[in-house]
Structure formats: C-alpha cells, structure tokens
Amino acid sequence: MMPACLSLFLLCTTAHAQATRPAAASSPSRPRLIVLIVVDQLRGDFPDRYAAHFGEGGFRRLMREGAHFVSAHFSHAATATGPGHACVACGCNPREHGVAANRDGDGECSEDPKHPLVGLDDPRRGASGGGPHRLQAPALGDVMKLATAGQARVVSLGLKRRGAIMLGGLRPDTAIWWHTSSGRFVTSTAYATQLSEYAAAMNAARAADRWFGRAWERLLPPEAYRACVPDDDPAEADAHHWGRAFPHPLTGGLKSPGEGYYAALLASPFANELLLELARAAVEYEKLGQDDVCDLLCIALSSNDVCGHLFGPDSHEVMDITLRTDRQLAELFSFLDARLGAGRYIAAVTGDHGVAPIAAHSRAHGLDAGCFSEDDAARALNVSLQQSLDVTGPRAPLVKLVELPWLFLEHETIRRAELSPQRVVDACVDELMKMKGVAWVVPAARLAGPLPADADERFHLAREAYHPRTAGDIYIGLRHYWQESENTAGHGTAHAYDRHVPILLYGPGVRAGRYATEADPIDIAVTLARLIGIQPAPTMVRARNSMATAVE
Ligand SMILES: [Zn+2]
C-alpha cells in the first residue's frame, strides 16, 4: 500500500495532470498497457526451483495463465546489467544496440555528465548525470511512440540508473531511478527539468527511510530453505553491518538513515517494494493504460542482483528475495487488475542475465572453479607489459580496465610510448592465456570483422557482444565456473548460467503454456510489438522470433 500522504497527494494532483489525447472508445480485447519487468540476476531456473513456495498471484499466475519459456538464453557474451536491459528493450544484441559493457573506457554505460541529476536535495551529491547516449537502436517504447504519433506514454523506473535508462530507450516520457547515496528518486535533464511530482512526494515523505532499524527476516519458516546452502556459510560476503545469516538488521551500522543504510536497503527485498510503490503511483499519476493507445511501463528490479552477488544463487537470501519478488509482483498485478481490468494489460517478466554459483560451492562439489579478479589481472598485466614492452613509470599503465568479458587498453599511453597497438594486444593476449581461469582470448579486432566460416558458438557469442564504441580491445573468455570474485557470486561470461533467464508473458493474445523450445530474450521486444499490432524496429526483426508460437 502507498502511504496515506502519497494517496492524498495523488488524489489532489491527478486532476491537474495534462490530458494530452482524446478519450477513445473502449474496445474490449486490446491491451492498454505493457508492463515490462526486468528482475536483475533472475536466472532461468529460479521460477521452477522456487515454484512450490510461490503464492497464487505472482510468478505462479504468469506460469499458469501465461507463456513460460524455460530455456531462454541471451545470444551474446556481455552478460551484465547495462547490456542485458538494453537487449530486452531494444530487441537486439550489443553489436547493434551499442552497450557492450556496464563500464567501458569512457565510464559507466548510463553516465552522462552533460545531463545532471534532477531531484537531489543537495545537487553537489550527484556529480555525474545520466542519459541514454550510448544506445544506438530504438527500444520498444520508441517504436510505440513512432506508431502512435507520440501518444503512447513511456515510463521507465529502476533502482539502478542503468536499468531504468536502458529499458526506457531513446525518448521515454519519464525515466526515474534511485540514487543510493541519498536514498532519493531522481531523473536527469536528459528527461526532465523537474522530477515527477509523485516521485518528489515520495522523496519528501522520506519513503526509503521506513525500513530503518527493522530487520530482514525470512518470509517462510527456516525448514522451507532446506535445499539452500547453510545460512551462515563462510563463502558468503559479510557486508552492510548485517552479517551472513538471518535476521539482517537494516541500519548499515548507522544511528540514522544515511548512505550505508541505503546501500543495505538496496541489497534487501525492500528497495524493490519501494520501487513498485513508485510504479503504482506512476500508473495513477501518468494515467497509464487509461485509453486505447497502449502505454509502456518498464520496471527494473535491481535488488535481486545486489543481494545475489553477496550471498550467491544457492543462499537462503536469494531464495527469500525471489519469494518476496513473487509476492510483490502479485500485489502489482492485483493493483493493475483493479485499475485497468484483468486482460487489459500485458506483463512480460525476464532477467537481464543469470549468475554463477559461488566458486567455493562449486569446488565443494568437485568442480574446477575459481576466481579471476578483474583488478588483479589489470595490475599484473600492467607490471608484466611495462617490463616486456619497456614502458616505464607507475603512471603509464597500458591496461585501463578489465570489465568482463572485456579488457580496455590505455590508448593514450600506447600513443605516447610510440608502441604499436597490435604489439600491445599480442603481448596482452599472451599474458592473459597464462592466467588461471582463462580459457580463450580474442583480440576485439577479429570480432569487428566479418563472421569467419569456422566460427564456433563461443565466437558467435563474443561477436554479438562487440560494439566498436563500447567494447574493449580484447575479449576474455573464462573457464566454466570461474568468475570475478572468490566470495561473491558473479556473472559476465558467455556460459549458460550467465545467459539463462526466464521469459514469462501474460495477457491478451498470449498463448498460455510451458515452452521448452530455445528462446532468446531479444525476441521479447518484437513479440510485444506484434501483440499490440505495431511495426517493430528493423533492429528487432533481425532477431530469431523465437517466441512466435506463444502469440495467438
Ligand atoms: Zn550483477
């Protein structure tokens, strides 16, 4: 439920919201709203794995009354949040949408210093703004606007900035995300000069502070979590002053709400709850789904990923946050049933990437697993390359950044040292191949070119992840079950556990069923466009149309 002050606020303000289009006659079966929900790090096996503990109205409703694709895999290797959300929204791979990594040589993928944040109480706190300037392809919201002379309303909300920005596409009406260090919802001047009133009202009511001093407890009795690894497993991270085992106190070690508390909240199920409260307010205030021009509401539920990194996919915590996501989705759907009517909206739920088990857990069961630390690799390469290539001085790193699956070179150093870039790449490849956990290394120049006749699956996946503006200079493929950290769970490889996500589609025109056929999440956008009868973008149509059987 939204707080009373916000309900009152909405009552007072919705009457003043601008009506920008005439009320159309109602036609019974046309969907009025698409709700596109991306649950960060929701791996493809999770819905079946936790099905016995789901309630009736959330995942189970989608699984029974909608189409459930159980074998959906991304067809690119850049399995991270920015690329994944852009794939779902734009219906194509990084090779076309342009976002090849969360961080590239120029910074974080949704960062845009030209568009400062809007909605902070102290503007100095948010130095870097945000915007979709790396996106090179239109998203679902963009083609919905194109097909309706701009009348379709497109609203994108997320906890992570890159989630909200990538899902929203090039020109959404509204994009709002959570600014973790201040605990406030914000937008940027790429979208608006003033924060939407419903988000400003939640900020004014300090909506994020209401969990301070409370504890995250298990939703179900401990016996229900028997199939998980022990709760106090030493391989889990101990962060946020809340320990490895339940209950997790939500203070961040502080006496009053502040950055540490907000970071803890983001890793808990309650930040998702906060975001869904904003989503319900957005439906009311932005009048989503109120006429026959279909609108789009995108929601990036990011807490599952933050929690998943700390505790791993086999933990009590990840099971619990998934069960709570289930209850939260049920609440959203019953709100939409009441507001728009069941059968008047389409819901699509998926993940942006999967996740690997914590390496120690894999090893405990006899698997070859370990840690390839991105920072350690960059440091080691800089030391060895400076020696082998005779570049001196601590301020002359040749490797700028390792962000799996990419390595970014420091081109300025290479230029000043008058080195041949090819020689640096070759030396890097040689050194990387000697590192533990590395299976395969390819210079990105090979991925830029035409598809070789002998390309295997791993080459395809790496090539689809490549984009000339945002991919690195070298692609690094890790061995199975090797990942970026020893005591947290990671993703970012081409392996199936990182590419596997569920796809759940529900609503008018969707043929219900459990689909075991291979599907690609980049086909969600084209499928949704077809379900509402609009022309998809050319970049969407190049996908495989792997969900065609689920459309009536
Ligand atoms: Zn992640």
| Spacing, Cα 267 to ligand 1 middle (Å) | 11
Distance between Cα 488 and ligand 1 center (Å)? 10
**What are the CA-CA distances from residue 396 to residues 381, 386, 391, 419, 438 (Å)?**
12, 8, 7, 12, 25
Residue at 188 is within a domain:
yes
Distance 300 CA to ligand 1 centre (A): 13
Tell me, yes or no, whether 201 lies in a domain.
no
Q: The domain containing residue 292 runs over which residues?
A: 31-194+269-360+496-550
Q: Find all residues with CB under 8 Å of 251, minimum gap 6, and list them.
A: 212, 213, 241, 260, 261, 264
- Beta carbons within 10 angstroms of residue 4's beta carbon: 9
DSSP string, 460-521: HHHHHH--TTTS-SEEEEEPTTEES-SSS----SSSHHHHEEEEEEESTTB--EEE-S-B-T
Question: How much distance in Å is there from the Cα of 390 to the middle of ligand 1?
Answer: 37
Domain match, 348 and 379 both: no
Lookup result for tokens 């209850």: 327
What pLDDT does 126 receive? 61
**Is residue 335 domain-shared with residue 400, that is, in the same domain?**
no
Answer whether the bond into residue 230 is a cis peptide, omega within 30°: no
* Contact predicate 229/361, CB 8 Å: yes
161 C-alpha to ligand 1 centroid (Å): 13
Q: How many residues does the chain have?
A: 552
259 belongs to a structural domain: no
Rounded CA-CA distance 213/257 in Å is 9
391 Cα: distance to centroid of ligand 1 (angstroms):
35
Task: Show Cβ contacts of residue 152 under 8 Å, excluding neighbours closer than 6 positions.
Answer: 141, 144, 145, 293, 294, 295, 296
Ligand 1 centroid–CA 79 distance in Å is: 9
How far apart CA 179 and CA 184 sit, in angstroms, is 5
- The per-residue pLDDT for range 233-251, each reduced to its tens digit, is 998 888 999 999 999 999 9
Identify whether 211 is part of a domain.
no
Indicate if 288 and 342 belong to the same structural domain.
Answer: yes
**Do 391 and 417 form a contact (C-beta atoms < 8 A)?**
yes
Say yes or no: 329 and 473 in one domain: no
Tell me whether residue 185 is in a domain: yes
In the prediction, which pLDDT does 431 show? 96
Sign of the alpha-carbon dihedral angle for 111, 350, 405, 317? positive
Residue 407 pairs in a beta bridge with 402, 474
Place of tokens 């709002």: 176
Ligand 1 center–CA 397 separation, angstroms: 27
Structure tokens at 525: 């956008």
Paired residues of 475 in beta bridges? 406, 442
458: CATH: 3.30.1360.150
Q: How far is CA 81 from CA 242, 244, 255, 539, in A?
A: 25, 25, 32, 20
DSSP string, 160-204: SHHHHHHHH-SS-SEEEEEETTTTEEEEETTT-SS--HHHHHHHH
The alpha carbon torsion through 86, 92, 95, 99 (nearest 10 deg) reads: 0
Kind of pairing, strands 345-351 and 33-39?
parallel
Residue 44, helix vs strand vs coil: coil
91 and 157 assigned to the same domain: yes
Give yes or no for a contact between 211 and 268, defined as CB atoms under 8 angstroms apart. yes
Same domain, 132 and 42: yes
Whether residues 287 and 320 share a domain: the answer is yes
Using one digit for the tens of pLDDT, what is the confidence trace for 284-335? Answer: 999 999 999 999 999 999 999 999 999 999 999 999 999 999 999 999 999 9
At a CB cut-off of 8 Å and minimum separation 6, what does 189 contact? Answer: 115, 116, 118, 129
Q: Is 186 part of any domain?
A: yes
Do the beta carbons of residue 318 and residue 326 sit within 8 Å?
Answer: no
Same domain, 508 and 390: no
Q: Within a 10 A sphere around the Cβ of 375, how many other Cβ atoms? A: 11
Domain end residue (candidates: 427, 446, 478): 478
Q: What is the pLDDT of residue 127?
A: 65
Question: In terms of C-beta density within 10 A (0-12 exposed, 13-18 middle, 19 or more buried), how is residue 100 classed?
Answer: buried
pLDDT for the residue 543:
65
CA 60 – ligand 1 centroid, Å: 25
pLDDT of residue 162: 98
> Which of 478, 509, 531 marks a domain boundary?
478
Structure confidence at residue 30 (pLDDT): 87
Q: What is the pLDDT of residue 122?
A: 79
**Distance from the CA of 310 to the center of ligand 1, in angstroms?**
10
Tell how far the Cα of 81 is from the centroid of ligand 1, in angstroms. Answer: 6
Q: Are 359 and 481 in contact (CB under 8 A)?
A: yes
- What pLDDT is stored for residue 17 in this prediction? 39
Residue 86 C-alpha to ligand 1 middle, in angstroms? 15
pLDDT less than 70: residues of the chain? 1-28, 123-127, 393-395, 543
Q: Final residue of a domain: which of 426, 446, 478? A: 478
Question: How many angstroms separate the alpha carbon of residue 355 from the centre of ligand 1?
Answer: 8
CATH code of residue 276: 3.40.720.10
DSSP 333-402: HHHHHHHT-TTSEEEEEEES---PPPHHHHHHTT---EE--HHHHHHHHHHHHHHHTT--STT--SEEEE
CB-count exposure of residue 525 (10 Å: 0-12, 13-18, 19+): buried
Whether residues 115 and 181 fall in one domain: yes
**Domain total in the chain:** 2
**CB neighbour list of residue 346: distance below 8 Å, 6 or more residues apart:** 31, 33, 34, 35, 505, 506, 507, 508, 509, 510, 528, 531, 532
Cβ within 8 Å of residue 473, ≥6 positions away: 406, 407, 408, 409, 421, 425, 428, 443, 444
Interface predicted TM-score (ipTM): 0.95
Residue 352 burial (CB count, 10 A) = 32
What single letter denotes the amino acid at residue 261? Y
Supply the angle between the helices 303-311 and 270-285 in degrees, to the nearest 10: 170
> Do 330 and 390 fall within a single domain?
no
* Residue 214 CB neighbour total at 10 angstroms: 14
Q: Is residue 107 part of a domain?
A: yes
| 460 and 311 within one domain | no
Ligand 1 geometric centre to CA of 176 (Å): 20
* Residues 188 and 130 sit within 8 Å (Cβ to Cβ): yes
CA distances from 109 to 102, 134, 182, 184, 315 (A): 5, 7, 21, 21, 30
pLDDT at 12: 40
Examine the domain organization and report whether 343 and 402 are in the same domain: no
CA of 305 to the centre of ligand 1 (A): 5
* 243 domain residue, yes or no: no
